A and B are shown apart, each in its own frame.
Chain A
Amino acid sequence: MNSAEELKYLLPNSVVSVGVQTNKPQAVIRKEDFLKVAEKVKELGYDNLSVITGVDRVDRIEVIYNLFSYKKKQNLALKVVLDHRSPEVDSVTSIWKVADWLERETYDLVGVKFNGHPDLKRILLPEGWIGHPLRKDYDMNTEQFVTIGEDGEDIVSPDGSNLLRRK
């Protein structure tokens, strides 16, 4: 019995399905129960949240949490499937502190809203950027430029006349 099947045995109602992806056990979790499952997983000894990944599957958005247990030397991946129009899931910053920046990254690039996050804002792109670039429906035709304001802050605009050379 791998770690995902163990979780399915403990919480049969919250775990939708189990499987193996790239040699790592993976469990698909109902998004309503995700915070409860995350607490249980932390109790099982998965103390390290390695990375949070967001994937745009056009009809849905998947968020994958890659976990590792230093005590058991085991991997576990949790996956939640979200609605494409309004992707929302509970934040796990109260359980793993590292989720703060990882969730901000997923919010920045994929546009997943994490409910209960203490400071949900962009982490890589400057404030004011239009769209989430790793979405399949991101508009690549309008180019956006960054300039520096008077106080050193980043200003985003599609007009690059202050930045580009006059030709």
Chain B
Amino acid sequence: MDPVTIDTTKIRMTKRKPETALEKLEDTNLINTLLAAKDREGFILLTTIDQAMNWGRLSSLWPVTSGLACCAIEMMAVSMAHHDIARFGMEVFRASPRQADLMFVAGTVTKRMAPRVKQLYEMMSEPKWVISVGSCANTGGPYHESYCVLKGVDNIIPVDVYIPGCPPRPEAWLYGIIQLREKIKNEGYGAKWGLNK
């Protein structure tokens, strides 16, 4: 038998970087897991971890009980039966920031209140979101030229959704809440790969 000589330079790595969403899915070996489950006639809920976690997060956003000025009166109106944010799973206003994951900055952020608002935000556990409500919290509003009012709460804490108005109508609050839900739905790696559609 003739000795076989193998030219190693002819061999190329055929594995290439996955590009499309389907290739990425195959790359994770998820297909084999699914097929194995199908052979055992098991039931499968096909989802990604991101999708499931985002669904859980956006369906039970608990706001922290804090209001700074007249926008907080509208916050009460939003939480009452007529406008009813309980349908978003948000009716549980937590008295402790440790248990909350959403903060409405509702009202004028004065210079003296600003470090307290920042402390409240830092006390909240991750993941956490902030909705800035009303002209005062967005930019300073009518107090923009004042000596004692912060020119927008986004100077001290990151803000996800801004709701304009002075104060905003409850319908505007609901629209802002829906925008935040859309944002949470598209968080994580799944959304980047296009798997969360």
Contacts and interface: CB of A to CB of B under 8 A. Distances in A.
Nearest to B145: A140
B119 A140 contact: no
B121 to A, nearest CB: 11
Contacts of A154: 112
Interface stretch (B88-96, B152-160, B180-188): B152-160
A165 B157 contact: yes
Nearest to A126: B112
Interface in A104-147: 125-126, 133, 138, 140, 144-147
B43 to A, nearest CB: 48
Interface string B91-126: 000000000000000000001101110110000000
Interface residues of B, number: 15
A154 B119 CA distance: 14
Interface residues of A, number: 14
B49 interface: no
Interface in A51-109: none
A163 B115 contact: yes
Given A163-B156, A165-B158, A138 B115 contact: no
Interface of B: 111-112, 114-116, 118-119, 145, 147-148, 154-158
Given A126-B112, A144-B147, A146-B114, 12 more contacts: A133-B147, A133-B148, A138-B147, A140-B145, A145-B114, A146-B111, A146-B112, A154-B112, A163-B115, A163-B118, A165-B157, A165-B158
Interface of A: 125-126, 133, 138, 140, 144-148, 154, 163-165
Closest 10 CB pairs of A and B: A133-B147, A148-B115, A146-B111, A146-B112, A147-B115, A164-B155, A163-B156, A163-B115, A164-B156, A163-B114
